[in-house]
Amino acid sequence: FALTAIRAPGDPAPAQVTAGAFDDKGRRIADATLTFSPGETTATGTMAVPFELRNDFASIALDGEHQAGAVRVLDESSKRRRVGLLSQAEADQAQPLLSPLYYIRRALQPFADLVEPSSADLADAIPQILDQKPAMIVMADIGTIPAQVRQRLVDWVDNGGTLVRFAGSRLAAVGNDDDLLPVRLRTGERSLGGALSWTTPQ
């Protein structure tokens, strides 16, 4: 958890302040030291805490400063959510832009704690992700979900988990899964012919 403190300009002396993180019951659960260099008006620090503890932060306050400007009250937008990423595609180090998860990672990384399984086998990968207690799971073109883990995934969704599925050739090939898809997929190939199509300009 990164912190930035700002002091009034005109103070050339170095200074050091301590910031404390408090939960919603007022208990101090983390600390960080911020150091102002000579002549500097900003100082930064980091609270290295586990993911679960970080989301318990309700406010940040500077020690010894009894004023509103020394307290930051945190809301839901300050919390980081854990997101699981799943894909059946093999990682291609030579062409990372072709990875189904490449742009998903880039979009979510600044705002979420991303977790990925160590195994490519869905029978092992899905339980690994669920054991991390994610708020959301993103599946990039996942086809058949193994029967031995499917019910656990359905139960996770029924209990409030958010499942995002990106469709592709694998998902289209296995057909509809009423429990794990929000709508029924249209099957068959795309039809590019018809009265409104032509091969030469009209």
User: Which pLDDT tens digit goes with each residue over 79-129?
Assistant: 888 899 998 776 555 677 777 888 999 999 888 889 999 888 888 999 999
Which of 12-26, 139-153, 162-176 is predicted with the least confidence, judged by mean pLDDT?
A: 162-176
Q: What pLDDT score does 50 carry?
A: 81
* Tokens 């699981």 sit on residue: 84
Distances in whole angstroms, Cα of residue 119 to Cα of each of 31, 90, 116, 122, 133: 36, 11, 9, 8, 17
Which of 67-71, 84-88, 177-181 is predicted with the least confidence, judged by mean pLDDT?
A: 177-181
Mean pLDDT of the chain: 84
- Pick the residue with more confidence: 134 or 54? 134
- Strand-pair category, 15-22 with 59-62: antiparallel
pLDDT tens sequence across 186-200: 666 666 666 666 666
Backbone angles phi, psi at 56, to 5 degrees: -90, -5
* Tokens 């990672």 sit on residue: 105
CA 134 from chain centre, in angstroms, equals 9
Whether domain 81-174 has CATH 3.40.50: yes
How many other CB atoms are there within 10 angstroms of residue 126's CB atom?
A: 25
The yes-or-no verdict on residue 177 having pLDDT over 90 is: no
Q: What pLDDT score does 83 carry?
A: 93
| Proportion of the chain above pLDDT 90, given as a percent | 30
Contact 82, 133 (CB under 8 A): yes
Whole-structure pTM value: 0.66
